[in-house]
């Protein structure tokens, strides 16, 4: 058994996951803590979650064995540009007993590496937001979308939720009774699917229910669209197809036509067995018939692999990926 240990962290908006693993692929520990995105939570709070996840993953592991680490997080560039944020992360690393260096990578790169060891390819993510990125030599190269809910995230959970509400509003404008998806949206937002005698009153109530909350919470409605699409509801099917078109179009902004490198699908909306995942696969096949399609998996393990592959004793990074990163 190799004595060398590497550490990987996947820092997301709602959870932080850490893993400590040997180069043989033996998982020594995992840790989980709260959301640690420094952009949304502040660097200090993010660093606290980081430290907590690290300590859990390293419990029972001699930290001197840890030779390298990678932290994957959204807004990595912003953290690296902020001295206070960097200092907070350095302290968390040190407080966990680690003395080796660590690197910070964008969460999109880590998601990519959780699906493939190929140095070049594309990652396409749809969760609350949506982003596509070209990976070149395991670095993020060009990026498409990820522009946030106000200006972009086309085809994301936010987008699906907003469009679902817009379709109900259009039904109400026309004086038509909302269909199954619209009924589910009304029930979710208003507690009842009953339309007022003046349908404009329901329109106003619906708009107020949405605008009372942060806009990004419209993503909460995405599962209603997915569920309705599974049932074959035509409005939901249409939205899912439109979303898949947007996502593929974002990827096409940065991925050359005819490319044969792998495409990794990530994010809650694309890694499950959902109609959106199927529709995106179909769009991807249409654009890039030769490209293998993989699913993003264990981000913390992928981060650990990204940390390990630069160690001098690693001669076959692809074999190491097979040992460290469970792929689907």
* Residues 6 or more apart in contact with residue 56 via CB below 8 angstroms: 18, 29, 30, 31, 32, 33
d(CA 49, CA 31): 10
How many residues of this chain bind a copy of itself (CB under 8 A)? 28
d(CA 262, CA 247): 16
* Contact pick of 3, 148, 232, 272 for a copy of itself (by CB under 8 A): 148
Nearer to a copy of itself by Cβ, of 165 and 276: the residue is: 165
Applying CB under 8 A, does 214 fall inside the site for a copy of itself?
no
Applying CB under 8 A, does 258 fall inside the site for a copy of itself?
no
Applying CB under 8 A, does 186 fall inside the site for a copy of itself?
no
* Residues 6 or more apart in contact with residue 269 via CB below 8 angstroms: 126, 127, 156, 157, 160, 222, 226, 276, 277
- In the bound complex, what is the minimum distance in angstroms from residue 49's beta carbon to a copy of itself? 24
Paired strand residues for 295:
265
Applying CB under 8 A, does 166 fall inside the site for a copy of itself?
yes
Specify the DSSP class assigned to residue 60.
T
Applying CB under 8 A, does 74 fall inside the site for a copy of itself?
no
Work out the angle between the directed axes of helices 199-211 and 180-190 (0-180°, nearest 10). Answer: 60
Nearer to a copy of itself by Cβ, of 148 and 232: the residue is: 148
* Contact pick of 54, 73, 165, 279 for a copy of itself (by CB under 8 A): 165
Applying CB under 8 A, does 243 fall inside the site for a copy of itself?
no
Distance of CA 202 to the CA centre of its chain: 34
Tokens representing 84 are 């206070």
Nearer to a copy of itself by Cβ, of 18 and 203: the residue is: 203
Applying CB under 8 A, does 200 fall inside the site for a copy of itself?
yes
Q: How many residues would you count in the chain?
A: 328
* Contact pick of 210, 276, 307, 324 for a copy of itself (by CB under 8 A): 210
Specify the DSSP class assigned to residue 10.
E
Nearer to a copy of itself by Cβ, of 1 and 150: the residue is: 150
Contacting residues toward a copy of itself, per CB under 8 A: 77, 142-145, 147-148, 150-152, 162, 165-166, 169-170, 173-175, 200, 203-204, 207, 210-211, 215, 250, 253-254
């Amino acid at each position: 058994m190799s004595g060398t240990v590497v550490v990987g962290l996947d820092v997301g908006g709602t959870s932080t996951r850490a893993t400590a693993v040997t180069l043989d692929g033996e998982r020594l520990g995992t840790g989980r803590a709260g959301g640690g995105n420094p952009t949304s939570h502040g660097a200090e709070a993010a660093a606290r979650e980081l430290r907590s996840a690290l300590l859990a993953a390293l419990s029972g592991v001699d930290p001197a064995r840890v030779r390298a680490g990678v932290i994957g997080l959204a807004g990595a560039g912003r953290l690296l540009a902020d001295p206070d944020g960097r200092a907070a992360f350095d302290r968390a690393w040190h407080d966990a007993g680690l003395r080796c260096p660590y690197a910070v990578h964008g969460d999109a790169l880590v998601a990519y590496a959780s699906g493939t060891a190929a140095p070049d390819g594309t990652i396409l993510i749809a969760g609350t937001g949506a982003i596509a990125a070209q990976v070149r030599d395991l670095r993020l190269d060009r990026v498409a979308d990820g522009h946030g809910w106000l200006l972009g995230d086309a085809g994301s959970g936010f987008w699906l939720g907003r469009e679902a509400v817009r379709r109900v509003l259009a039904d109400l404008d026309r004086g038509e009774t909302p269909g199954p998806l619209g009924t589910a949206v009304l029930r979710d937002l208003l507690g009842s699917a009953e339309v007022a005698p003046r349908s404009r009153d329901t329109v106003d109530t619906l708009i107020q229910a949405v605008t009372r909350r942060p806009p990004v919470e419209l993503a909460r409605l995405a599962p209603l669209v997915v569920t309705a699409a599974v049932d074959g509801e035509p409005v939901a099917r249409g939205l899912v197809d439109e979303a898949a078109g947007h996502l593929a179009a974002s990827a096409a902004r940065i991925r050359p036509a005819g490319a044969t490198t792998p495409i990794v699908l990530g994010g809650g909306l694309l890694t499950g067995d959902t109609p959106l995942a199927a529709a995106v696969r179909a769009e991807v096949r249409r654009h890039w018939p030769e490209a293998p399609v993989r699913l993003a998996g264990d981000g913390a393990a992928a981060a650990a692999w990204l940390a390990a592959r630069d160690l001098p004793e690693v001669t076959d990074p692809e074999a190491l990926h097979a040992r460290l990163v469970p792929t689907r």
